[in-house]
Amino acid sequence: MNKQALIDAIFEKKSLLCVGLDSDIDKLPEGIERSIEGLLQFNQQIIAATQAYAVAYKVNTAFYEQYGSAGWHCLEETLKAIPKQCFTIADAKRGDIGNTSSMYARAFFKHMDFDAITVAPYMGEDSLSPFFQFEGKWVICLGLTSNAGSKDFQILKVGETPLYLEVMRKVSQWGTNEQLMFVTGATKASDLKALRVEFPQHFFLVPGVGAQGGTVKDVCDNALTDFGGLLINASRSILYASSGTDYLEKASAEAHKLQQECQTAMGL
């Protein structure tokens, strides 16, 4: 999906919502078997219950990789359940030497046909360049993340500049805003405004809304653009909105609420 198609989807649904499928067998609700088969059934149901409100889905591969080949099958079947008009993200955080990254890119872009993959830039340009070679695909690079450990490296100063900003500036030279997004955490909303000034044409993937304490309003107040420019991810607040038999109603209601907050922020 190219940039204009993503923008069109955002304005058609009046939404910036990305649903994170970090689905955990141990947290499956009442009535769903706690097995790989149950996990797939749950994902398919969540997708069906939220697709009217979501413009994107982010599949965290670690939640599936842990189960080996059966987990990979579940991941691939989950991807098939996502409507074609929705943007799909493999949250895999890959990044290795060039020939290894080439194999990762083929796996997620060619074999599984995700629209985007999250990457870690620590090993430099040659570790990310293979991902930029696929037309119509997106590289989502870690920028400023919302986890507590982000302070260990990301905010260290390189001269007068925090490391995360130096990294983002460098990575922005390797791809265009038609194929490159950045991960910027919602719990760091005060930093989003400065990042938006620095990167006015790039999309930001923003985790941390909902269970982690970030809000749609804070994110949009600081980083919304006239083309949208945001994919606001919510995972646990939707997936586990209820542990009872009403889990689909509650998941749909939470997704709808977040979509409405996006619509309000966008003035639509």
Annotated catalytic sites, by residue? 93
Cα(230)–Cα(200) distance, rounded to whole angstroms?
11
Cα(247)–Cα(252) distance, rounded to whole angstroms?
8
Cα(231)–Cα(105) distance, rounded to whole angstroms?
22
Q: Among 210, 232, 179, which residue's Cα sits nearest to residue 56?
A: 232
Cβ contact 139:119 at 8 Å: yes
Cα(175)–Cα(138) distance, rounded to whole angstroms?
10
Angle at which helices 247-266 and 216-223 cross, to 10°: 30
Q: Which amino acid is at 149?
A: G
